[in-house]
Amino acid sequence: MMKRRAWSRAILYIVCIMMCLFFLMPVYVMLVTSVKPLDEVTLSDMWKLPTTFDWSSYQTAFAKLAPNFLNSIYLVVPATLLSALLGALNGYVLSKWKFKGADTIFTLILFGMFIPYQSILIPLIQFLREIGLYNTIPGLIFVHVVYGIPITTLMFRNFYAAIPDEMIESAKIDGAGFLRIFRYIMLPLSITGFVVVAIWQFTNIWNEFLFAVTITTSAQQPIMVALQNLSGSQIVQWNVQMAGALLAALPTLLVYIFLGKYFVRGLLAGSVKG
Amino acid sequence: MKTVVSERDVTVVPAVRKKRKWTADHWLAAAFLTPSVVLIFIFVYGFIGWTGYVSLSNWNSLVPDLSFAGWKNYIYLFHDFRFQADLRNTVVFTVLFIGVVVVLGQFLAILLDQKLRGESIFRNIFFFPMALSFVVTGVIWQWLLNPSTGVNLFLKKFGLDSKWYTDTTILGGFHIGKIEGGVPVAMIAVVIAAVWQMTGFAVAMYLAGLRAIPEEVREAARMDGATEFQIYRKIIIPMLRPITVSVIIIMAHISLKIFDLIYAMTGPGANFVTDVPGVYMFETTFRGNYYANGAAIAMIMLLSVAIFIVPYLISSRKGES
C-alpha cells in the first residue's frame, strides 16, 4: 500500500514538472535568443544555448523602445491612480449608500467591462479629435479611466461589502457624514483594496494594445505598439525582438513576482460578478 | 496571509438593504456617483448606439457620410469571403480554446490540490503568463512556432512536420458559402499560445473553488470507503460545476473579441486562415477607411459577446438579491 502511494506521488510530481516545462519553454527560448549574436539566431539552433553572450540586442531594443517605455509610464501611473480613486468612491456609494435602483445601475455599469472595445472605437476617436486629445497621452489616460470604471467599481464594491454596515451606522449616529465616513473609516480599511485594484489596472493598462494602436501614432505610442512595430520591419531580427519582448514585459512581470498574491486576488475579484 | 486565494475572494457578500431616510448625505453620495454613471452612459451605451448608426450608413471612405444605407453593410459582410472565414475561425478558436482551458485548468487545479511540496512554485509558474501582454505572448509564440523550426525540430524526430500558423489546410473541409468549413490547422497554433497565456486564470478560479469545499465533505466520503479518485469524480468535480460556468463565460468573451494576440502573432494569414473579426474590424476601419463596414463587424462582435454576458449578469444579480 505504501509503495503504491509513493508511486502515485512520483507520477504526480512528474506530471507537474512536465507542465511547468511547457509553461517555461517560451521563457527559455526568449532568454537564450535574446543574448545570441544575430548569426547564431537561426531556426535550427533555436534550442541551443548561445556560444557567447551578446548583449547588443538589448542595447538595440532599448534604444528603440525607451521612448515608448516612458510613454507607457506617463500613461499607466496617472490612469491607475485616477481609476482606483474613482472606483473606490463608486464602490463606497454602491455598497454603503444604496438607493432604489442602485443594483440596476451597477449592472449597467458592469456591462461596460465586457464589451468588445471595437464597438465604441469609431465614435471614441471622433470624440477625441473633437476635444483635441487624439494622439495624446492624456487622451489615452482619459480612455483608460473611463473604461476602467466598471472593473474598479466592481472590485471596490465587493471589497466594501465585507466591511460591516454596523460600523457605518454607528459612525452616522456619532454624527459623521458621507465624506467623513469615507475618509476616516473606509479609506484606512481599503489599503489592500487599493493595492489589488492598482496592480490590476497597472497590468491591464500596461498590456493594452487596441486603444494604444488606434488612438496614438509614432512618438506618442505606448510600449506594446512599439514592440509590435519591431516585427513589422522587413527582416525580423529575432534576438532584438525577444530582448524587446522581455523589456516590455518586465514591469508587469516584476509586479507579479513581488505582489503576485494581490494580482491573483484582483483576477478573482474581477472574474466574479458582484 | 498564507494562501493566495481565500474564500472571501470568490463569495460575494450580499449587501443588506434597509429602509433608511434619504438625507443630505444621500444626495452627496448620489452626486459622487453621477459623473461615473454619466460617463458610462455616454461612452458605453451612447457610443454603441452611435456605432450602430454608423454601421447602417454609407460611410465607407475617409469623408464621413452618414446617409442611411439600411442593412447594406451587414449583407455585404455575410457574403464576404473574409468575414465568412472569420466566423468559421472564431467558432473553431472559441470551442478549442475554451475546451482546453477548462479541462487543463481543472486538471492542474486538482493536481495542485494534492498538497505537493513546492506547490507555490508550481502555482506561480502556471500563473505568470497572465501578467504578460497578449502582444508579448504573440511575439514569443510567433518565433517558437515558426514553421520548419523551433518546436518542429523536435516533432520531426517523431515524423511530424507541422507548418503551424502558415498551414492553409482546413481539416474536415466541406463547402459552405464562399469558404471551406472545418478546422483551419493554422488556428491550432494560436490556440496553443492562448491556452499558454490563459490557463492560469482557470487554475486560479478552480483552486479557489476547491479550497472553498470543506474538508468534512472529503472526510465523510472517505469514511464511506470511497477512494481518492472516486471522491474527485463523484463529489468534487460536480461541485466545481458553477465555476466551470464562470470560466466558460469569461473565456468566451475573451475569445470572441480576441485581437492583439492574433494581430501580433500571425495577422490574417494566407486565405485568412487565422483572421478573426477583431483583426478584420481594425484593418478595414483604420487601414482601409471602410468605417461603416468596420462598425458593422463591431456590432456583430458585440452581439456575440452579449449573448453570453447579458444572461450571466442578470443571473448573478438575481443570485444576490
Alpha-helix residue ranges (DSSP H) falling in chain A: 2-34, 56-96, 102-111, 118-130, 137-161, 165-173, 178-181, 187-189, 191-207, 210-215, 223-230, 238-271
> What number of C-beta contacts closer than 8 Å exist between A and B?
291
Query: Residue B15's pLDDT is what?
Result: 55
Lookup: cell for B288:
482601409
Query: Any CB–CB contact under 8 A between A197 and chain B?
Result: no
Query: Residue B300's pLDDT is what?
Result: 97
Helix/strand/coil for B290:
coil
**Is residue B174 a part of any domain in this protein?**
yes
Q: Identify the domain containing residue B148 by its residue range.
A: 82-320
Nearest to B4 among A92, A208, A261 (CB): A261
Residue among A90, A95, A55 at smallest CA distance from B36: A90
∠ CA B56-A150-B30, rounded to 5°: 105
Give the whole-number percent of chain A exceeding pLDDT 90. 63
Tell me whether residue A164 is exposed, middle or buried, using C-beta atoms within 10 angstroms of its C-beta: 0 to 12, 13 to 18, 19 or more.
exposed
* pLDDT at A211 > cutoff 90: yes
Residue among B237, B203, B241, B194 at smallest CA distance from B96: B194
- Asked if B57 and B66 count as a contact pair (C-beta separation under 8 A), the reply is yes
Question: Could you tell me the CA-to-CA distances from B211 to B11, B39, B240 in Å, in that order?
Answer: 12, 39, 11
Please, what is the end-to-end C-alpha distance for chain A in angstroms? 47
Ranges of residues in chain B with a pLDDT under 50 are 1-11
CB distance A263–B204 less than 8 Å? no
Chain-wide mean pLDDT for chain A? 90
> Chain B contacts of A26, Cβ < 8 Å?
137, 140-141, 144, 196
Lookup: cell for A8:
502515485
Give the whole-number percent of chain B exceeding pLDDT 70. 88
pLDDT tens, residue by residue, B232-250: 888 999 999 999 999 999 9
Question: Could you tell me the CA-to-CA distances from B28 to A93, A146, B31 in Å, in that order?
Answer: 10, 21, 5
Angle between helices A2-34 and A238-271 (to 10 degrees): 130
CB distance B136–A20 less than 8 Å? no
Domains of chain A with CATH codes: 58-271 (1.10.3720.10)
Q: A residues 54-73 near B, CB within 8 Å?
A: none
**Is residue B73 a part of any domain in this protein?**
no
Query: Any CB–CB contact under 8 A between A149 and chain B?
Result: yes
Query: Any CB–CB contact under 8 A between A253 and chain B?
Result: yes
**Is residue B26 a part of any domain in this protein?**
no
> Nearest CA to CA, how far is B68 from chain A (Å)?
17
Residues A129-138: contacts with CB under 8 Å, at least 24 apart: A134/A215, A135/A215, A135/A216, A135/A217, A135/A220, A136/A216, A136/A220, A137/A71, A137/A74, A137/A75, A137/A216, A137/A220
> Chain A contacts of B298, Cβ < 8 Å?
116, 118-119, 121-122
Cell numbers 486565405: residue: B271
Would you place residue A274 in the very low, low, confident or very high pLDDT band (cuts 50, 70, 90)? Answer: very low
Assign residue B259 the CATH number of its domain: 1.10.3720.10
Rg (CA), chain A: 24
Tell me which chain A residue has its CA closest to the CA of residue B21.
A99
CB distance B46–A123 less than 8 Å? yes
For B316, the enclosing helix (H) or strand (E) is: helix B291-320
* pLDDT at A75 > cutoff 60: yes
Query: Residue A124's pLDDT is what?
Result: 97
**Is residue B45 a part of any domain in this protein?**
no
> Chain A contacts of B310, Cβ < 8 Å?
111
> Chain A contacts of B46, Cβ < 8 Å?
123
Provide the 8-state DSSP code for B13: P
pLDDT tens, residue by residue, B61-111: 999 999 999 999 999 999 999 999 999 999 999 999 999 999 999 999 999
pLDDT tens, residue by residue, A188-207: 999 999 999 999 999 999 99
> Chain A contacts of B33, Cβ < 8 Å?
89-90, 93-94, 105
The total domain count for chain B is: 1
Would you place residue A92 in the very low, low, confident or very high pLDDT band (cuts 50, 70, 90)? Answer: very high
Asked if the ipTM is above 0.95, the reply is no
CB distance A103–B321 less than 8 Å? yes
CB distance A93–B291 less than 8 Å? no
Cell numbers 446617409: residue: B67
Q: How far apart are CA B251 and CA B199, in angstroms?
A: 10
> Chain A contacts of B56, Cβ < 8 Å?
none
Q: How far apart are CA B296 and CA B300, in angstroms?
A: 6
Query: Any CB–CB contact under 8 A between A209 and chain B?
Result: yes
> Chain A contacts of B265, Cβ < 8 Å?
none
Q: Which residue has the higher pLDDT, A53 or A161?
A: A161
Residue among A78, A94, A77, A199 at smallest CA distance from A156: A94
CB distance A89–B124 less than 8 Å? no
Sign of CA dihedral B122, B127, B128, B129: positive
Nearest to B108 among A19, A177, A242 (CB): A19
**Is residue B42 a part of any domain in this protein?**
no
* pLDDT at A146 > cutoff 50: yes
Q: A residues 157-186 near B, CB within 8 Å?
A: 158, 161-162, 165, 177-179
> Chain B contacts of A268, Cβ < 8 Å?
5, 9-10, 204-205, 208
Would you place residue A273 in the very low, low, confident or very high pLDDT band (cuts 50, 70, 90)? Answer: very low
> Chain A contacts of B25, Cβ < 8 Å?
97, 177-178
> Nearest CA to CA, how far is A265 from chain B (Å)?
7
Residue B42: CB partners within 8 Å, gap ≥ 6? none
> Chain B contacts of A46, Cβ < 8 Å?
143, 149-150, 153
Average of per-residue pLDDT across A104-112: 94
**Is residue B218 a part of any domain in this protein?**
yes
> Chain B contacts of A124, Cβ < 8 Å?
43, 47
> Nearest CA to CA, how far is A98 from chain B (Å)?
8
**Is residue B36 a part of any domain in this protein?**
no
B interface test, pick of A32, A90, A122 with most B CB neighbours within 10 Å: A122
Residue among A182, A132, A156, A86 at smallest CA distance from B35: A86
Give the whole-number percent of chain A exceeding pLDDT 70. 95
Query: Residue A2's pLDDT is what?
Result: 61
Nearest to A209 among B44, B134, B319 (CB): B134
Q: How far apart are CA A112 and CA B212, in angstroms?
A: 29
A interface test, pick of B1, B18, B38, B40 with most A CB neighbours within 10 Å: B40
